[in-house]
A and B are shown apart, each in its own frame.
Chain A
Amino acid sequence: MKELRLILFAVLLAFAAVACSCSSDRSEDEGSVLHRGIGTEPESLDPQKARTTQAGDVLRDIGEGLVGYSATGELVPAAAEEWTVSDDGRTYTFSLRPEARWSNGDPVVAGDFVFAWRRLVDPKTGAFYAQFLADVANAEQIIEGEEPPHALGVEAVDDRTLVMRLERPAPYILSLLTYPSTFPVHPGSVAQHGDSFARAGNLLSNGAYVLEQWTPGSALSIRRNEHYWNNGETAIDTVKYHVIVQNTAEVNRYRAGELHITSNVPPDMFQQLKQQYPDELRIAPTLGVYFYGFNLSKPPFKDNPGLRQALSMAIDRDMLAEKIVGRGELAAYSWVPPYVQNYEPPVFSFATLTQEQRNTIARRLFAEAGYGPDNPLRFELRYNTNDTNRRIAVAIQSMWREVLDVETTLVNEEFQVLIANVRAAEITQVFRSSWIGDYDDANTFLSILQSGASSNSPGYASDKFDSLMKQAAEQPDLERRRWFLEEAEREMLADHPVIPLYFWVSKHLVSQEVSGWGDNVLDYHYSQHLSLSATR
């Protein structure tokens, strides 16, 4: 009886398998095709709902904001051909390109931007990056639900003229306008398709490419947008983005000649790949800082900057960056990465000392904070489970033990669990975190440490820092603003709410068939800037 049941079970399964024959999900390659690994899947191609870097990569290929980036990361006019800024730095007037078109041939008009931006801040949209426009007049009130979306400080004077009014001069606003959250959407298409407007076949886009096919969990294909104003400059006809979650699997596909570009390089294969593909491994500094945060709301770290400084100084960052991480990362002696434009980050007072000298001072500070053989310090260090994080934590655990005789317990947690714990700030003591800048400006790093900021994970609150940040935000003059931001960072570094460990690098394998690749701190690589010398 049991066997009969199993046979029938198997037969039914096999029958079902034969009955549903799914067609091949890849069209025949026509023209030049670029194969890019994208890592995890973009969660949405709705510009206002997208939030991950993966979605950003695809959206920058198919869409276009008022401003864009060159291959090497300089701001360049995109959908807007030029703009003027008022003297107080609060009013921007953009002139749109008359030849800009949607992928169905409709002209891209100022009203499309107004529609998209109101959609972004409208609470009903549930957009993740609504705060991208927080500097625009009334945006915050609209997000809070106190004002209607049409109160937003943006206006289409005519089809070609867009005026944007800001709450405060925010010189980085142009970088934000390169971000897909601020890309226009085609109002007619949104009205027609509703929640499914961002699907292949429905999605109208105004960039160099248009979405052709999307198989969730597998791949996305985009093809040349014939109506794009700069179509003549686009070299590659089709780009296929492959969803490959495992880094090692991605590298194997690169080695098998199936990918031109990988989204990442796994840490444990780095040295091997460096020898095997010295000319294809592209390493470049990027806007990210890997750090440890202190829970500032509980003892022993609450109101104890001396202790925090001692722990920070006892870490040999150069050794960490070179030996433990070892992929070209830069040891961090500041919070803002040194290559951020128009900014010279102040560094820790101990940056110029040798590690021996730092250790000596660290021991003194540690003793002054009341710890020593009679009163040993014990705490937990939390990190999210991952090999690199573990190696770093083990190294730092031993540095702290050696220099200060601190007993650190390592606790690894699933990413979502760690985040929930950090946010609750009840059981965390020291925790691993990182911050990736949204745009090339010091503000994207410094603003998260303002008191009450949602991503202020240590719970840092300093009146002096807050007031310097506020003053910086009011400055239309770039030099003065820079001075306030640098002062703010200096103030914050002296309080040691965080231990910056190293600055990130972007890591890709890029086939030698690909030309036009430019390393840049944002790690943006528009497909329209690339070309293929030979098809594989």
Chain B
Amino acid sequence: MLRYTLLRILGAIPTLLLVIAIAFMMVHAAPGGPFDDDRALPPAIEENIKRYYHLDEPLPKQFLRYLSGLVRGDLGPSYVHVDYTVNELIADAFPRSLKIGALAMALALLAGLGAGTLAALRHDSWLDRVVMAISMTGISIPVFVFAPILVLLFAVKLNWLPAGWTSSSGVSRYLLPVVTLALPQIAYIARLTRASMIDVLQRDFIRTARAQGLGTMNVVWLHALKPAMLPVLSYMGPAIAAILTGSIVVEQIFGIGGLGHFFVNGALNRDYTVVLGIVVFYAALIVFLNLVVDILYGAIDPRVRYR
């Protein structure tokens, strides 16, 4: 088991290195630099700043410097958030992004499965059509359109919820961002669930269950939900990706200082270290989670260890 774990960890290193190298080349290939502005700096001052951040060195040397920092867990200083290091920015922003993302995912699953099941049970009724119409709307309207509409309605008109993250310290500030982020996913999951639920409900084993006198609730809960969820589970990967990218827009609109916010502004301002840091962080996170899953598989299923 230990050998298996070690091998898996070693195997992850080349993947990470490749991601870092490609990301490094890409950010430095973008035209312009972190210190370019309408007002050009006098050459002497520009040189001083570049020397300060080691940007005057040849790229391979900069890359090695970056790697050696990385080995020590140091993602470097931010060029645009001068008073902070990239480590500090990520440590501060990630929990916020994660919380909102996880809540949105949970909401999407709950609401999507519920609505989809309901629509399937009332197949071809007015309820079915309403749910499907709403979910079609949810899929077609992009987050950057939906968010301002929700803000105008709930914050500006009704004044029930804060329009921005920093305007409240309570739970209320989570509502709009989480709902905005979850909406398209609720819609997708509802449609997937409905289609597969309709299919499952017509199978023989469901008919048998009903014949044995089980009520609808029990049939769905005990027998139909599990097989009907399979397509939803396969959709989880794309859903997590969609929530990650969606959070970039949501964080901008609600003024949430999450990873998406720093990633977008970092890319626009050529804040090399911040963009690289976030890429490396996400890559490491995904590799790590995969690793944990693999190791858990190994623990659960001995066959995997010897494959």
Report A's interface with B, CB cutoff 8 A: 2-10, 12-14, 16-18, 20-22, 24-26, 28, 35, 40-41, 43-46, 49-51, 123-128, 130-131, 140, 143-145, 195-196, 198-199, 215-219, 240, 242-246, 248-249, 252-253, 255-258, 414-417, 419-421, 423, 433-436, 448, 454-455, 457
B45 with A127: CB separation less than 8 A:
yes
What range describes how many residues of B lie at the interface? 35 or more
For A5, list chain B residues within 8 Å (CB).
293, 297
B252 with A245: CB separation less than 8 A:
yes
CB contact between A217 and one of B53, B261, B268, B292 (< 8 Å): that residue = B261
SS of A interface (majority): mixed
Complex CA distance for A421 and B236, rounded to whole angstroms: 43
B43 with A249: CB separation less than 8 A:
no
Give the nearest-CB partner of A199 in chain B: B83
For B289, list chain A residues within 8 Å (CB).
9, 12-13
B42 with A454: CB separation less than 8 A:
yes
> Quick one: which of B43, B99, B262 has the most chain A CB within 10 A?
B99
A126 with B98: CB separation less than 8 A:
no
B163 with A126: CB separation less than 8 A:
no
Report B's interface with A, CB cutoff 8 A: 30-33, 35-46, 48-49, 51-53, 77, 80-84, 88-89, 92-93, 95-96, 98-99, 101-103, 105-106, 148, 151-152, 155-156, 159, 162-170, 230, 233-234, 236-237, 240, 252-258, 261-262, 265, 268-270, 289, 292-293, 296-297
For A199, list chain B residues within 8 Å (CB).
83
Q: What is the minimal beta-carbon distance from A220 to any residue of chain B, in angstroms?
A: 10
A126 with B96: CB separation less than 8 A:
no
A49 with B82: CB separation less than 8 A:
yes
CB contact between B252 and one of A8, A144, A249 (< 8 Å): that residue = A249
A44 with B83: CB separation less than 8 A:
yes
For A123, list chain B residues within 8 Å (CB).
44, 48, 51
Give the nearest-CB partner of A241 in chain B: B166
B254 with A419: CB separation less than 8 A:
no
Q: What is the minimal beta-carbon distance from B84 to any residue of chain A, in angstroms?
A: 6
For B84, list chain A residues within 8 Å (CB).
216
B102 with A256: CB separation less than 8 A:
no
CB contact between B253 and one of A128, A240, A249 (< 8 Å): that residue = A249
Give the nearest-CB partner of B262 in chain A: A217
Complex CA distance for A131 and B256, rounded to whole angstroms: 35
Q: Indicate whether A246 sits within 8 Å of B252 (C-beta atoms), given known contacts A252-B152, A416-B30.
A: yes
B32 with A419: CB separation less than 8 A:
yes
Q: Indicate whether A218 sits within 8 Å of B81 (C-beta atoms), given known contacts A256-B159, A419-B38, A435-B38.
A: no
Q: Indicate whether A13 sits within 8 Å of B240 (C-beta atoms), given known contacts A217-B261, A249-B254, A416-B30.
A: yes
Given contacts A145-B44, A145-B48, 15 further A-B contacts (CB under 8 A): A12-B289, A21-B95, A25-B169, A26-B169, A46-B83, A49-B82, A49-B83, A126-B51, A198-B83, A215-B257, A217-B92, A218-B255, A244-B255, A253-B255, A420-B32
